[in-house]
């Protein structure tokens, strides 16, 4: 473990004036105007990255969490200094927060490097915030801890418990199918998001929080306390205290925590939770930053023996507050212990095996976390597919798919962009049957920033006839809160000339999840003729979007920028 530099952080990372003495003198002079004297400035400094924004409702209560972290830093004798970074609110960002994940990662990494601090605490929670912060941490040369705002509490409508955002999609589907009128869907809307916090189900936010804790980049017990609880604030204060200890010792550094074994454990936990399909893209991106070779195939191989254990929507029936009350991630790790690598060490400083030994045994009264011998579902809750339609891979959450569609062959109905989807699918005269395979293209990283458009709505005429699922295939993502027989992340994407760009209406597509296959049943000679006519889309004209489109890696490689 590296030793903390003897020089105060405030006197390092100096502003460049060509005179180090003057830089230090001027820095302390300006800080004096904010009430900081030399005694304060010579303490261990903990920088706290804050992603509060009026455009990010999930982070509404972050000021209280920030106060708790600051209090913990002060209690331990450190000096807290918070700084803003980009805030990515999932619902209010156009066209998708995924387009800006790498920008937030760059922002956070550069601020950790540029600002004087001995350690950093990164406050996040919403879907792309935590992956971006993990990516930044992996590239950092200072101790880093993550702390999340936590999930929201559930609401109720007509006696039915509900919460964002799996229930958002379920009720909207009922509205499209004519079961709920305008006033009823508005009434539901006002109960779906009842408190501050991230989605109430095992969507991307909660999945990534749990994986962050598993990786060791968060103190134990931090992934699941709801945003509105004292438990969340107590964990924030403990994080502040621990940050000072890491600042004094100089480590461990993120690259010492983010080991191959830590990532293998994270994949096992992801499988046990049937977590968000987005986690595959994010974990690969973080691993790449950490210098760890993690591939799509690893998710199938490592997760092959891990059954589905956590009864949370969208694959299950419960909510994150149920998972938390059942012991949260520490309780799940206790159940998974025979499958885990116990030697990993995270920011707590204790080996995973010791943390598991300290956790109480699973209690029989709770049903949210199932034992290994009585799982909620079989192993393989997330499946990686390959075939002629996705030579470099695609992903399906099989635990949230319809069993009767897991082996299906049907004709393609092609949609060329997410912007066209509603117009086409709401057409009452659309020539479509439940056997069709809906294909969305031009929605991958290069073409569109990879929006959560893959879970296409069921065509209106079929929804009104009671159809609730169809096979859907795309180079897009879907929300971690979504469900259905949805194949995602087809690689190569259409904008890169992948086979999905060559699909035409009526082509037969075969999905065979058991065989891990996704195939376009068109002969190679015909595909070659179509390739000759392929014209790649024009790149954006300027700015971040052009840089992103020019340098983004494919989904199977984490969709980070190639030069990072």
> CB under 8 Å to 365, separation ≥6 — which residues?
none
pLDDT at 2 over 80: no
Comparing CA positions, the residue from 413, 491, 480 lying closest to residue 447 is 491
Q: Which two tokens stand for residue 123?
A: 């406050």
> How far apart are alpha carbons 164 and 153 in whole angstroms?
9
Comparing CA positions, the residue from 281, 256, 21 lying closest to residue 131 is 281
pLDDT at 12 over 90: no
- The number of CA neighbours under 13 Å toward the Cβ of 128 is 31
Give kind and range of the element (H or E) at residue 202. Answer: none
- Exposure string (b/e) for 261-289, b if CB count within 10 Å is 16 or more? ebbbbbbbbbbbbbbbbbbbbbbbbbbbb
Q: What is the pLDDT of residues 369-423, one digit of tens each?
A: 999 999 999 998 999 999 999 999 999 999 999 999 999 999 999 999 999 999 9
> How far apart are alpha carbons 119 and 102 in whole angstroms?
22
DSSP class of 456:
P
Map residue 353 onto helix, strand or coil: helix
DSSP class of 338:
G
DSSP assignments along 164-179, one per residue: TTHHHHHHHHHHHTTS
Q: What is the pLDDT of residues 336-370, one digit of tens each?
A: 999 999 999 999 999 999 999 999 888 888 899 99
Q: Which two tokens stand for residue 236?
A: 């924030």
Mean pLDDT calculated for residue range 82-98? 96
Comparing CA positions, the residue from 330, 353, 366, 62 lying closest to residue 222 is 330
> How far apart are alpha carbons 257 and 280 in whole angstroms?
19
Other C-beta atoms closer than 10 Å to the C-beta of 357 total: 12
Contact in structure between 123 and 62 (CB atoms under 8 Å): yes
User: Sheet holding 144-148: strands in order across?
Assistant: 79-84, 45-50, 119-124, 144-148
Q: What is the pLDDT of residue 145?
A: 98
Comparing CA positions, the residue from 407, 400, 415, 386 lying closest to residue 494 is 415
Alpha helices in 115-229 (DSSP H): 129-138, 166-176, 182-192, 204-215
Q: What is the pLDDT of residues 441-466, one digit of tens each?
A: 999 999 999 999 999 999 999 999 99
> How far apart are alpha carbons 149 and 440 in whole angstroms?
34
Map residue 116 onto helix, strand or coil: coil
Q: What is the pLDDT of residues 16-56, one digit of tens each?
A: 999 999 999 999 999 999 999 999 999 999 999 999 999 99
Q: What is the pLDDT of residue 384?
A: 97
For 106, phi then psi, to 5°, come to: -65, -45
Sign of CA dihedral 274, 278, 281, 286: negative
Contact in structure between 227 and 197 (CB atoms under 8 Å): yes
pLDDT at 75 over 90: yes
Contact in structure between 16 and 88 (CB atoms under 8 Å): no
For 39, phi then psi, to 5°, come to: -60, -45
pTM for this predicted structure: 0.95
Residue with the two structure tokens 């699941």: 224
Q: What is the pLDDT of residue 213?
A: 98
């Amino acid at each position: 473990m590296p030793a903390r530099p003897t020089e105060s952080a405030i006197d390092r990372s100096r502003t460049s004036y060509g005179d180090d003495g003057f830089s230090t003198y001027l820095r302390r002079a300006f800080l004096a105007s904010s009430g900081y004297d030399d005694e304060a400035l010579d303490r261990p400094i903990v920088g706290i990255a804050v992603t509060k924004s009026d455009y990010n409702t999930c982070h509404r209560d972050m000021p209280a969490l920030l106060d708790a972290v600051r209090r913990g830093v002060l209690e331990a004798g450190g000096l807290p200094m918070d700084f803003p970074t980009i805030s990515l609110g999932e619902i209010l960002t156009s066209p998708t927060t995924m387009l800006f994940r790498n920008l937030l990662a760059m922002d956070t990494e550069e601020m950790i490097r540029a600002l004087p601090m001995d350690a950093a605490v990164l406050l996040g929670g919403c879907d792309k915030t935590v992956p971006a912060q993990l990516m930044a941490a992996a590239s950092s040369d200072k101790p880093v801890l993550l702390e999340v705002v936590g999930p929201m509490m559930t609401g109720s409508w007509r006696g039915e418990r509900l919460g964002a955002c799996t229930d958002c999609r379920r009720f909207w589907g009922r509205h499209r199918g004519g079961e709920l009128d305008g006033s009823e869907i508005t009434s539901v809307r006002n109960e779906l998001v009842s408190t501050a916090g991230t989605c109430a189900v095992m969507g991307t936010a909660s999945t990534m929080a749990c994986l962050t804790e598993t990786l060791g980049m968060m103190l134990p017990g931090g992934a699941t306390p709801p945003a509105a609880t004292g438990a969340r604030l107590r964990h924030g204060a403990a994080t502040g205290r621990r940050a000072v200890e890491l600042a004094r010792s100089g480590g461990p550094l993120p690259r010492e925590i983010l080991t191959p074994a830590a990532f293998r454990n994270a994949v096992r936990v992801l499988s046990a939770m049937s977590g968000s399909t987005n986690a595959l893209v994010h974990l690969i991106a973080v691993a790449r930053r950490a210098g760890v070779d993690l591939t799509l195939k690893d998710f199938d191989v490592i997760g092959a023996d891990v059954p589905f254990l956590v009864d949370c929507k969208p694959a299950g029936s419960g909510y994150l507050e149920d998972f938390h009350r059942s012991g949260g991630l520490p309780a799940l790790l206790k159940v998974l212990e025979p499958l885990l690598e116990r030697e990993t060490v995270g920011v707590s400083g204790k080996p995973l095996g010791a943390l598991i030994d300290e956790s109480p045994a699973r209690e029989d009264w709770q049903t949210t976390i199932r034992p290994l011998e009585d799982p909620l579902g079989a192993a393989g809750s997330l499946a990686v597919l390959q075939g002629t339609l996705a030579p470099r891979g695609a992903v399906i959450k099989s635990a949230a798919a319809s069993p009767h569609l897991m082996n299906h062959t049907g004709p393609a109905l092609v949609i060329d962009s997410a912007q066209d989807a509603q117009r086409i699918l709401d057409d009452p005269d659309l020539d479509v049957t439940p056997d069709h395979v809906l294909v969305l293209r031009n929605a991958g990283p290069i073409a569109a920033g990879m929006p959560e458009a893959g879970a296409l709505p069921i065509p209106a005429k079929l929804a009104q006839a009671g159809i609730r699922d169809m096979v859907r295939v795309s180079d897009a993502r879907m929300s971690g809160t979504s469900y259905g027989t949805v194949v995602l992340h087809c690689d190569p994407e259409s904008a890169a000339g992948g086979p999905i760009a060559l699909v035409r209406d009526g082509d037969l597509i075969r999905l065979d999840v058991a065989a891990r296959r996704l195939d376009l049943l068109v002969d190679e000679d015909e595909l070659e003729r179509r390739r000759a006519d392929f014209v790649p889309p024009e790149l954006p004209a300027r700015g971040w979007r052009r840089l992103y489109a020019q340098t983004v890696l494919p989904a199977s490689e984490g969709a980070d920028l190639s030069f990072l």
